[in-house]
Amino acid sequence: MHYYLAKRLGFLVLTILAASVLAFVLLHAVPGGSAETIARHTLVGLEDSVSDEVLTQVSQQYNLADPLWKQYITWLSGIVMRGDFGASFVYLDTPVASLLSLAIIPTLVLACTSMLIVIALGIPLGIYSAIHENSPGDLVIRCATVVSIAFPSFWVALMLILVFSLTLDWLPVTGYGTPANLVLPATALALHPTAVVIRIVRTSMLDTLGQQYITFAIAKGLSFKNIVWNHAVRNALIPVVTLLGVYFGHLLAGTVIIENIFAWPGIGKLLVDGVFSHDIPVVTSCIVVIVTLFLLVNLGVDLLYHVIDPRIRYE
């Protein structure tokens, strides 16, 4: 177990480093110099021309004249040594860590709420659909999942706004801080994963119910309810847990689109704003945080396998 955990943590660190290097390099390859972008946002205005003297001043202030590898090492050492993600180029030298601390809570609230919707609807409906195979309820659920999978989350978000905000005026379009603000973005984010989870749970349950030990349990005279909840569900949930872990990471990444549609003040909106303003420390740090959360969730899911099925060993 300790060897497995050490190996996984090692791969986790290497993956985060690779993601940060790739983000850092690609952002510097984007047309439009960082010094000019910083000057337009903080010194001379977006529509004004930038003189060479101003560009030189900004480059010296933010060490932009240094080689790319040196800028990356400086940024990375600040994170490792002091937990310092650097200062934003655009937000008037505000520490990136402060921006992240303000944005991460809304993102986690949105992602966790969406995941609760996925679990609360996906697993029970999938079990019901498997137990009542080919019944009218099963057919309705299967048709609904096919339709839900076909719709991208951004289209669902726009339709929810059109119906429940603009037409019925039941829920606000934007804002943060109340449950009403959370309903539309969480629903838009959760619809596609819920449909996929329902189908996976249904398939896994049908496969489990067809196993010989289920037939043996029926032959012993156990009640069908006992067989389903004490034998079938536990074994059927192993692939579902894997899927939920992957989808939680997708939910964190999916908030980039949904947060911008609903003006949700999370990491996704901070990331997009940083891309448009060419704020390299903010964008790189947001990517590192999202990748880290995704990897930690998947590590937690792998460790959860043993809790669900004690027969699983890591060594």
| Eight-class DSSP state of 87 | B
Query: What does the pLDDT look like over 226-255, one tens digit per residue?
Result: 677 766 777 777 777 777 777 777 777 667
**Which comes out higher in pLDDT, residue 31 or 79?**
79
Residue with the bigger pLDDT between 3 and 153: it is 153
pLDDT of residue 46: 46
Q: What is the pTM of this model?
A: 0.78
Rounded Cα gap, residues 194 and 198, in angstroms: 6
The per-residue pLDDT for range 176-189, each reduced to its tens digit, is: 878 888 889 999 88
CB 89 within 8 A of CB 41: yes
Beta-bridged to residue 95, according to DSSP, are: 87
User: Distance between CA atoms of 84 and 22, rounded to whole angstroms?
Assistant: 20
pLDDT (tens digit per residue) in 160-215:
999 988 888 888 888 787 888 888 999 988 888 899 888 888 888 888 777 777 77
